[in-house]
A = this chain, B = another copy of it.
Amino acid sequence: MIGKNIYNFCEKIFPINRSLTGDGVRKTLEIIKDEVGELNIYEIPTKTECFDWEVPKEWNCKKAYIITPDGEKICDYSINNLYVVQHSTPINQEMSLEELEQHLHSLPNLPKAIPYITSYYSKYWGFCISENNRKKLKEGKYKVVIDATLSDGAMTYADLVIKGREDKEILFTTYVCHPSMANNETSGIALNTFLIKYIQNLKDRRYTYRFVFAPETVGAICYINKNLKNLKENMDAGFIVTCVGDDLSYSYVSSRKGDTLADKVALNILNYGVEKFEKFDFTNQGSDERQYCSPKVDLPVCSVNRTKYGEYKEYHTSLDNMDFVSPKGFGGAYNVYTKIIDVLEKNGYYELQTYCEPQLGKRGLYPNISTLETAKETNIMMNLLSYADGEHDLIDIANILNIEATLLIDITKKLYQENILKVKE
């Protein structure tokens, strides 16, 4: 149900011509704002310096295509925005096939796929084409048109901070710079949007939640540049929301340190909440964890995915389309992420208030008749009390008990209400 809703939203933004900069990003962010009711959209001018980088020129592509010697229009950007190398310089020119071939990109091993190619930082123009169609091209004069502007403008990104009782923050960030590919990366935008709605509906929130939608790498670098102080002071855990729509597997990319709160909660939910998942250490990083975990930035950020970027053959091609993702895929990712939120909301270093075990019977917390079911619950409760020593948080205790930490939430609440457990100051 929720998976279907996310899928539908993904489908809606899928066709938009997003790139590192430009109007496609703006249009996407406006649709998100409509969906959730609130969103801060920022424009950061070309050439603005952000740490070691500067914001590149803005690229907008009106149309792009090739006319074959037979007069056929191919590689039409209005049909599929992957046909054009991102940030191509404008061109309008006739040329031989030989000359054109220098600017064509295809994948011999995936002959039906249009590849996704970018050239953000070197001047270049090019087209992407399936290997099958490339082979059909004959000798002759080709007309090549890219009607695009690459000029001073801005890079666009957005965030939304939803306040909780505490200033401490949880971050969910995704990237908005990819054109029409579904899993990487329209899925992250869609899921992040629905996580906003989940938080908006969460009563009596403990944490403050920060949602970010920015271009990958340079967008994340600019975002960190603008928000470093606050992020360093307040972030308890953060997640790169990417590749969350397919149903092939679950994956996890660790933070650089590997043992942050973000890693801990993600691993508990993945270890006990899904049938299996692939575990990638940080040396496999390839997205914005690289910025958030950079030594001087050093934030507790990991990534939870369905099938990780680079681990499926359709990755970075036109085959990563709406057929590759599914309501079931989105539903699974949403389930994992909302469990992560639920656990973080209640997590803490609890301390047992009594010497020795409390007399649970007199408080109605100990079963009169013992069954296998109550025995399991009692064992969980007794161990929760035993490890409530101010040195193990709920996730640690769940890990010791080999259970999903969500299973401790209700018991903890009862024991807290009875003043048996308190949170360590």
* Contacts known (A359-B52, A359-B53); A296 close to B354, Cβ less than 8 A: yes
Residues of chain B with a CB closer than 8 A to A228's CB: 355
Q: Does B51 contact A386, Cβ atoms closer than 8 Å?
A: no
* Cross-chain contact A295 with B256 (CB below 8 angstroms): no
Residue of B217, B355, B382, B388 near A51 (CB, 8 A) is: B355
Give the number of copies in the complex. Answer: 3
Q: Is A146 an interface residue, CB under 8 A from the partner?
A: no
A368 within 8 A of B: yes
A225 within 8 A of B: yes
Q: CB of A351 within 8 A of chain B?
A: yes
A30 at the interface (CB under 8 A from B): no
Look across to chain B and name the residue whose beta carbon is closest to the beta carbon of A368: B122
Q: Decide if A338 is an interface residue (CB 8 Å cutoff).
A: no
Cα distance A414–B13 when bound, in Å? 43
A357-B122 contact, Cβ under 8 Å, with A295-B351, A296-B352: no
Query: Does A390 sit within 8 A of B, measured CB to CB?
Result: yes
Q: Nearest chain-B residue to A361 (Cβ)?
A: B121
Cβ of A36 < 8 Å from any Cβ of B?
A: no
Residues of A in contact with B, size category = 35 or more
Distance in angstroms from A410 CB to nearest chain B CB is: 19
Q: Are B296 and A355 neighbours in the complex by a CB distance under 8 Å?
A: yes
Interface string of A352-373 (1 = CB under 8 A from B): 1011111101100000100000
**The residue from B224, B225, B296, B356 contacting A294, defined by CB atoms under 8 A apart:** B356
A274 in the interface (beta carbon within 8 A) = no
Q: Does A282 contact B (CB under 8 A)?
A: yes
Which residues in chain A, 295-329, are within 8 Å of chain B measured between CB atoms? 295-298
Report Cα–Cα, A221/B354, bound state, in Å: 11
Can you identify 18 A-B contacts, CB atoms within 8 angstroms?
A51-B356, A52-B355, A52-B356, A52-B359, A53-B356, A121-B359, A121-B361, A220-B356, A224-B356, A228-B355, A256-B386, A256-B387, A283-B383, A291-B356, A294-B356, A294-B357, A294-B386, A295-B387
